[in-house]
Structures are given as structure tokens and as C-alpha cells.
Structure 1
């Protein structure tokens, strides 16, 4: 599996996301196949069963319940595990998790973060870009660990790829840079409120539809 992961540019790209290692990346790619067959990130989220059920009765506004849990349960579980890891790593994903956790609790927050990871997977593959808030030394370390698992020779006489992750000062610097992005995201979302249905507009639309 390590050899296959190293040869797959999509898996390597997904590994730039916090919490996503080779096992998670391979699981997602194996379940999804060609990301291009999904017209939007929302369709991928629905395929993985991470979108909420919508309940509506009569003229009452729609309400969102638990996720549908359709599709590949193993991949969905992998993304949830990755979300727990991402929730402890510095960066916008941790800020997102903490925001949902404060309102809805940790279980809802981790599922929402897993859904966010699925959205990220779609956008990164569609754009052909790595995660913008990746920590370079950590990514190199994950890829080097994967290469060693695949049978790559160890570097004894010289420092191999991923060695920079052993530099505590460099790790601290990268962490500080990502924490700045995390605080910026917290400031951005501080005033966001859950979207509420516009009952007046809905009633007016129904009135026009019935010819009144």
C-alpha cells in the first residue's frame, strides 16, 4: 500500500491536509476513484454520507438532522478519525472544530470537520494544489515515513528528506505561522451566525405560486 500511495499524486496531495496520512488518503482515493465524476464538493460529501438528512413537514421550514451515513462507511470513519487529529493541530481546521464544538458539542463538531475534510479533498484535486496551510516539514516527514515503509534505503551518511522535522526551532516557527492563520480565521468567523429561514419571503413565494 505504501508503494501505491507514493506513486499516486492525489494521495500525496491529500497528505498535505492535517490529520490525513497515507492510510486515510488511500482509503479516500479507493472509495472515490476519479474525483472528476463529482460536479461539486457537495456531491462528494453526499456520496460519502456526510451530509445531514433534511426533514420537512407541510409548510414548516426544513430542519437538518443526523448525517445520512450512506456510501462507504470505512472511508467515512477514516475521515472522522482524521478530523479528530486535525482538531488538535494548529490551523483553520482546529478553529472550525472549536467553533462548532462551542455550539453543538464535540461529536457534532468532529463530523462537521470530517465533512470539511471531504470538501478540501475535492477542491485540492480539482485545483491540483496542495493544502494552503500545510506545515512543510511535517508533510516531508510523513512522506519520508511512507517511503521507508515502502522499502526506501535509510540515509546514514547524510540527512534524508523529512529530517527538518527534527529541528525543534523550525517546527516551532512553522507552528507559529499556522497559528497566525488560525487566529485570522477565528476573527473572520467570529460574527457568523447560523442561517435562519426567511419565513416572510417563503410565505410570499407560496402566495405567488398559488395565484393569490
Structure 2
């Protein structure tokens, strides 16, 4: 418990990670940051956007290996190694597929830092967002609606699509 906030409720967090947070920042230290972005930038987990003339010159993560940054990266790596599906693990694997494991570890560590800041400063418990629609589910529902619109637009019948008469398609939108 971190002043009434259970940080171990987050998957991937261990006692060592919580002890590192307590020793490096402390309860009052986290509250000194105005926003989660300030906390993440202090940890050097936010991209450093160098822009000149509207052109992005660099967006790499700043160098530096603070103990808390290392602890959050280790927690993020353990999230990537989980077998059961959780929202944080799915986030890790989406980034891993697109940008590689190192970027996925950094992005997940940043997300953990934001979650921790919100839990400690706002005093809310971590709730695993299982009930939310994820991007794949949104895409599927959008695809179904688009297909239904096309069927209605072209006034297609089930026989035109090669379906049997037993299958009923709802073409009203």
C-alpha cells in the first residue's frame, strides 16, 4: 500500500517496483508534479520532440537511466511476458508488432507511470479496463455497418450474394 493506494493491483508491478517508487520519489514527491506529463517527462519516458520550421527533427526518448525509469521498464517487460491477455499486455504487443520490443517497453513504462501518477494523486484504485471496446472491435463493427450500407445502397438480395434463403440479412440502417 502506498498511502492507501494499492499499486500492486497493476499487473506487472512487484514489491521491488513499489519500493523503488517510494524510495526515489515518495508520496509527496509524486504530488509535486502538476500533471502526469510532467512526471513522465521527469522520468525521461516521454519523447523529446525537436521541431524547427514545422519539421520534426527528432523524437527520440531522452537518455538517462534513473532507478525509477529502470524499475518501470522492468515492470513493462514483465507485462510483455504475461501469458494471459490483459489490456496492458495487448497494448505492449501492438507496439511490439509495429516498432519492436525496446519501443514497446518504453511505451508501456510510460503508460505505467501515467497510471501510477493518476492513482496516487487522485486517490483512485486501478481498474482493469476490460469492458472497453478496443480498436479491433471498433474496426469490426465499423466494417459490418459499411457492408450493410453497401448492401442497402445497391439493393442486393441474399440470392445475389450467394446466400441461401434461410439466412436473413438485416439491411435496414
TM over 0.5: yes
In the aligned structure 1, how far is the partner of 2:61 from the partner of 2:138?
24
Q: TM-score, normalised by structure 2?
A: 0.68
1:183/1:97 CA distance change after superposition, 3 Å:
farther
> 1:18 aligns to what?
11
Quote the Cα distance in structure 2 between the aligned partners of 1:189 and 1:73.
38
Map residues 98-109 of structure 1 onto 2, 5 A cutoff: 98-109=93-104
TM-score by length of 1: 0.56
Indicate yes or no: 2:81 matched with 1:91. Answer: no
Residues 9, 98 of structure 1: alpha-carbon distance in 2 compared, 3 angstrom cutoff: same
> How far apart are the structure 2 equivalents of 1:78 and 1:130?
21
Structure-1 separation of matches of 2:139 and 2:119: 26
Provide the C-alpha distance between the structure 2 equivalents of 1:14 and 1:190, rounded to a whole number of angstroms. Answer: 33
Alignment check: 8 A CA contact 1:13 1:129 kept: no
1:187 aligns with 2:141: no
Q: 1:118 aligns with which of 113, 116, 137?
A: 113
The 1:31–1:118 alpha-carbon spacing in structure 2 relative to 1, beyond 3 Å, is same
Compared CA separation, residues 49 and 188, structure 1 to 2 (3 A): farther
Report the equivalent of 2:45. Answer: 50
Larger radius of gyration between Structure 1 and Structure 2 = 2
Give the structure 1 partner of residue 56 of structure 2: 62
Give the total of aligned pairs: 136
Q: Whose helix fraction is larger, Structure 1's or Structure 2's?
A: 1
Give the secondary-structure state (helix, strand or coil) at the position aligned to 2:108. Answer: helix
Between the aligned partners of 1:125 and 1:112, the Cα distance in structure 2 is: 20
The runs of at least 4 consecutive aligned structure 1 residues that moved more than 4 Å come to: 188-191
Deviations 1:177-208 (A, max 9, x none): x8xx28843436769xxxxxxxxxxxxxxxxx
Distance in 2 (CA, whole Å) between partners of 1:51 and 1:27 is: 20
Identify if the C-alpha distance between structure 1 residues 66 and 182 changes in structure 2 by more than 3 Å, giving closer, same or farther.
farther
Q: Please list the CA deviations of residues 150-181 of structure 1 after superposition, one character each: whole Å capped at 9, or x if unmatched.
A: xxxxxxxxxxxxxxxxxxxxxxxxxxxx8xx2
